[in-house]
Amino acid sequence: MYRSHTCGELRISDVTKEVTLAGWVQTVRKFGAITFVDLRDRYGITQLLFGEELNAQLDAQPLGREFVIQATGKVSERSNKNANIATGEIELAVQSFKILNKSAIPPFTIQDDTDGGDDLRMKYRFLDLRRNAVKKNLELRYAVNRSARNYLHENHFMDIETPFLIKSTPEGARDFVVPSRMNPGQFYALPQSPQTFKQLLMVSGYDRYYQIVKCFRDEDLRADRQPEFTQIDCEMAFVEQEDILNMFESLIKRIFKDVKNIDYTEQVTRMTWEDAMWQYGNDKPDIRFGMQIANLKSAFLKGGKIQATGELINGAGFGVFDNAETVLAIAAPGCSEYTRKQTDELTEWVKRPQIGMQGLVYIKCNADGTYKSSVDKFYTEDKLKAIADAAGARAGDLVLILAGREERTRKATSELRLEMGKRLGFRKEDEFKLLWVMDFPLFEYAEEENRWVARHHPFTSPKPDQIEVMINNNPLIENADKYLEHPYSNIKANAYDMVLNGNEIGGGSIRIYQRELQEKMFAALGMSEEEALHKFGFLLGAFEYGAPPHGGIAFGFDRLCSILGGSESIRDFIAFPKNNSGRDVMLDAPSSIDDKQFDELQIKLNLKG
Ligand code: ASP
């Protein structure tokens, strides 16, 4: 027996017990004739006391950091108690010990505040994983996993594995490919998600499926994306959108309860995609705070109509507004007393390349009811008041206005809103706000290719009342400039995203389940009949054998964990993550392979450049 107890287990009630512990040496402190050692394992830290009688053995076999040792002795009460750790009232008076294995000096300290930089910690991730901070994250991840599994199991979902070596399933990214030795010149793709498999399982009658599963997408790694990531992937048959929304908001609420002990009893807010874009400037709004965007002027089509034509701001001779495609405003509460320095700093902030604006106009809504603005020259106080009112500003607020091209301005205003929300303390880490964003456009227009692409994926169904529009109209876009006038640009999808504190944590849709409509969808995306058959013949075929109505959703498991753990980085919640260049620096992967492997695969490298 290596140990009778763990290093996190012993309490004052265990005093006088004979026990054996095993673990890693965290610290060694020598005080004259006696030596203290903090012994660590996954469960905690216990202080070991080595008396004088062990000095000779300690001299002969000195202990170092991260040595693995076993110690037997008696639990005794500590004179100097440590209230910070669970075992802090006791120590182990060691009678005998044994070094089970030595350790080289670790390249960084195994502590919460380690001295190791990111790269070093990743290279020695097996040591980094010993740190409490990282362990806590993995424990949280496991708690989320268990909570999800329990909930889904209780609701009759079956965990069914689907293959990793498959044929491409487009979800908008590039595939990772794997050469096949037995089929020279042919390749598998790693799944971007189990999408088509879970739909086939619905056809097979497994009406509630789930999997906590790896997905692979060969994307350029924008901040905090991983080439392989984990989804809680779910699908249900005989459901409408409402059934899915209810089932899965309850899943997330259950996870909140199990993992964070939060009772999220309120109904999850629902918002159309159009409202999200219009009021918050993006499709995953953080609704922990208001500060909605006021559209002073916009080219953006809402319900097919231009909503704000600019009558409030046009014609005052201020060219920036007069000539802009879009003018948007937000009201920052309580900021009317910003100094010149502060408004200048905000102006610099919006001019940063990531935000890309030319400048920032402000109106100070003074507490005494007067108005002061950077464009006083052009607008009377009455006009300024009218604009501030439109932005929902009250006395004491600062109205911030951006102008420019539609898309960029909307994005910038959305960023500015988030930034101000952060600066004003409205984005609290311990406050959780869920939101369903619904009714996304079914199609997006890809300018470079002059064709439609699926906004979600090609298996998403249109809203039932818009199926006709899809079937009865030719997808061809004759005039690229006027794609917004094509009936397809107004078709809404039976799709929904779940948003948590401004992050998309899940997304799904009610699927197409009729062959004819699925074929029409492929055609709408510019796929020829042969191409559709070649890529998706199996699915089209399956739809001919009694496919039930179905729909589903997938949650980004890593992201969900990081938000619940109060961290921006999903890497912190993955045991062995890749870095920003998609490398595993511990394994040094990817790497080249042996000539023999190339031979077996009958592949010859011909690297360009
Ligand atoms: N497969 C989809 C995705 O990965 C999710 C879904 O539609 O269920 O985004």
Domain stop point among 403, 427, 451: 427
Q: How confident is the model over 130-157, as a mean pLDDT?
A: 97
Cis peptide before 590 (omega within 30 of 0): yes
Helix, strand, coil distribution of the chain in percent, nearest 5 = 30, 25, 45
CATH number, domain containing residue 60: 2.40.50.140
Handedness of CA 53, 56, 59, 61 (dihedral sign): negative
The pLDDT, as a whole number, for residue 260 is: 97
Helical packing angle, 241-255 and 132-154, nearest 10°: 140
User: Residue 560: what are its φ and ψ, rounded to 5°?
Assistant: -55, -45
Same domain? For 69 and 172 the reply is: no
Q: How far is the CA of 379 from the centre of ligand 1 (A)?
A: 49
Q: Is 115 exposed, middle or buried (0-12, 13-18, 19+ CB in 10 A)?
A: exposed
Same domain? For 255 and 302 the reply is: no
Same domain? For 314 and 421 the reply is: yes
- Of 313, 347, 308, 336, which is closest to residue 393 (Cα–Cα)? 336
Whether residue 22 is contained in a domain is answered as yes
Please choose from 244, 457, 460, 496 the residue to mutate so as to test ligand 1's pocket, defined by most ligand atoms within 8 A of CB. Answer: 457
pLDDT digits (tens, 9 = 90+) for 287-299: 999 999 999 999 8
Strand (E) or helix (H) holding 368: none
Provide, rounded to the nearest whole percent, the portion of the chain with pLDDT above 90.
Answer: 89
Compute the mean pLDDT over every residue in the chain, rounded to the nearest whole number: 95
Whether residue 184 is contained in a domain is answered as yes
Q: How far is the CA of 235 from the centre of ligand 1 (A)?
A: 10
Whether residue 341 is contained in a domain is answered as yes
Contact criterion met (CB below 8 Å) for 445 and 495: no
Beta-strand relationship, 451-454 and 495-500: unpaired
Same domain? For 543 and 561 the reply is: no
Whether residue 504 is contained in a domain is answered as no
Domain stop point among 49, 82, 101: 101
pLDDT digits (tens, 9 = 90+) for 344-402: 999 999 999 999 999 999 999 999 999 999 999 999 999 999 999 999 999 999 999 99
Sequence-ordered list of residues with C-beta below 8 angstroms from that of 559, at least 6 positions apart, any chain: 503, 504, 505, 570
Same domain? For 482 and 568 the reply is: no
Same domain? For 263 and 154 the reply is: yes
Same domain? For 243 and 342 the reply is: no
Please choose from 200, 233, 460, 512 the residue to mutate so as to test ligand 1's pocket, defined by most ligand atoms within 8 A of CB. Answer: 233
The token duo for 497 is 């995203």
Whether residue 107 is contained in a domain is answered as no
CATH number, domain containing residue 373: 3.30.1360.30
Ligand 1 within 6 A of CB of 195 = yes
Whether residue 6 is contained in a domain is answered as no
Nearest atom within ligand 1 for CA of residue 511: 7
In terms of phi and psi (left: phi > 0; alpha: psi -120 to 50; beta: otherwise), the region of 367 is alpha
Nearest atom within ligand 1 for CA of residue 195: 1
User: Residue 294: what are its φ and ψ, rounded to 5°?
Assistant: -95, 130
pLDDT digits (tens, 9 = 90+) for 5-50: 999 999 999 999 999 999 999 999 999 999 999 999 999 999 999 9
The pLDDT, as a whole number, for residue 401 is: 98
The pLDDT, as a whole number, for residue 482 is: 80
Q: How far is the CA of 169 from the centre of ligand 1 (A)?
A: 11
The token duo for 144 is 């989320």
pLDDT digits (tens, 9 = 90+) for 64-122: 999 999 999 999 999 999 999 999 999 999 999 999 999 999 999 999 888 888 899 99
Q: How far is the CA of 506 from the centre of ligand 1 (A)?
A: 8
The domain in which residue 183 lies consists of 134-268+556-596
Nearest atom within ligand 1 for CA of residue 194: 1
Q: How confident is the model over 318-337, as a mean pLDDT?
A: 96
Domain stop point among 372, 395, 427: 427
Give the residue carrying structure tokens 């020829």.
528
CA–CA–CA angle 142, 143, 148 (5° rounding): 100
CA–CA–CA angle 505, 506, 509 (5° rounding): 160
Answer with the residue of higher pLDDT: 304 or 316.
316
Domain count, the chain: 4
Please choose from 171, 232, 440 the residue to mutate so as to test ligand 1's pocket, defined by most ligand atoms within 8 A of CB. Answer: 171
Whether residue 64 is contained in a domain is answered as yes
Same domain? For 298 and 422 the reply is: yes
pLDDT digits (tens, 9 = 90+) for 232-282: 999 999 999 999 999 999 999 999 999 999 999 999 999 999 999 999 999
Strand (E) or helix (H) holding 464: none
Strand order in the sheet with 361-365: 294-297, 326-332, 398-404, 361-365, 371-373
Q: How confident is the model over 520-529, as a mean pLDDT?
A: 94
The token duo for 186 is 């042919």
Ligand 1 within 6 A of CB of 489 = no
- Of 297, 298, 280, which is closest to residue 289 (Cα–Cα)? 280
Q: Given pLDDT bands bounded at 50, 70 and 90, which one contains residue 601?
A: very high
Strand (E) or helix (H) holding 137: helix 132-154
- Examine the pLDDT at 56 and tell me if it is beyond 80: yes
Cα distance between the two ends of the chain: 59
Sequence-ordered list of residues with C-beta below 8 angstroms from that of 402, at least 6 positions apart, any chain: 327, 328, 329, 350, 357, 360, 361, 409, 412, 413, 416
Q: How confident is the model over 481-492, as a mean pLDDT?
A: 87
Same domain? For 67 and 162 the reply is: no
User: Residue 188: what are its φ and ψ, rounded to 5°?
Assistant: -90, 160
Q: How far is the CA of 162 from the centre of ligand 1 (A)?
A: 14
Q: Is 24 exposed, middle or buried (0-12, 13-18, 19+ CB in 10 A)?
A: buried
3-state secondary structure string across 13-57: HHCCCEEEEEEEEEEEEEECCEEEEEEEECCEEEEEEECHHHHHH
Ligand 1 within 6 A of CB of 458 = no
Same domain? For 232 and 155 the reply is: yes
The pLDDT, as a whole number, for residue 173 is: 85
Handedness of CA 13, 18, 23, 27 (dihedral sign): positive
- Read off the amino acid at residue 112: D
Distance (Å, whole) CA 579 – CA 394? 46
User: Residue 177: what are its φ and ψ, rounded to 5°?
Assistant: -120, 150
Contact criterion met (CB below 8 Å) for 359 and 404: no
Distance (Å, whole) CA 371 – CA 331? 13
- Of 482, 490, 484, which is closest to residue 462 (Cα–Cα)? 490
The pLDDT, as a whole number, for residue 588 is: 95
Distance (Å, whole) CA 29 – CA 510? 63
User: Residue 421: what are its φ and ψ, rounded to 5°?
Assistant: -60, -40
Nearest atom within ligand 1 for CA of residue 509: 7
The pLDDT, as a whole number, for residue 449 is: 87
Contact criterion met (CB below 8 Å) for 539 and 527: no
Q: How far is the CA of 572 from the centre of ligand 1 (A)?
A: 24
Sequence-ordered list of residues with C-beta below 8 angstroms from that of 358, at least 6 positions apart, any chain: 320, 351, 403, 404
Distance (Å, whole) CA 482 – CA 204? 43
CATH number, domain containing residue 249: 3.30.930.10
Whether residue 79 is contained in a domain is answered as yes
Contact criterion met (CB below 8 Å) for 269 and 246: no
Ligand 1 within 6 A of CB of 507 = yes
Ligand 1 within 6 A of CB of 554 = yes
Which stretch of 405-419, 420-434, 440-454, 540-554 has the lowest confidence by average pLDDT? Answer: 440-454
Q: How confident is the model over 148-173, as a mean pLDDT?
A: 91
Same domain? For 65 and 167 the reply is: no
Exposure b/e, 141-176, CB count within 10 A at least 16 = b: bebbbebbeebbeeeebeeeebebebebbbbebebb
Q: Given pLDDT bands bounded at 50, 70 and 90, which one contains residue 568?
A: confident
- Examine the pLDDT at 479 and tell me if it is beyond 90: no
User: Which residue puts its alpha carbon closest to atom 8 of ligand 1?
Assistant: 553
Same domain? For 325 and 384 the reply is: yes
In terms of phi and psi (left: phi > 0; alpha: psi -120 to 50; beta: otherwise), the region of 157 is beta
Nearest atom within ligand 1 for CA of residue 459: 7
Nearest atom within ligand 1 for CA of residue 553: 8
Helices and strands, number each (H, E), in the chain: 16, 24
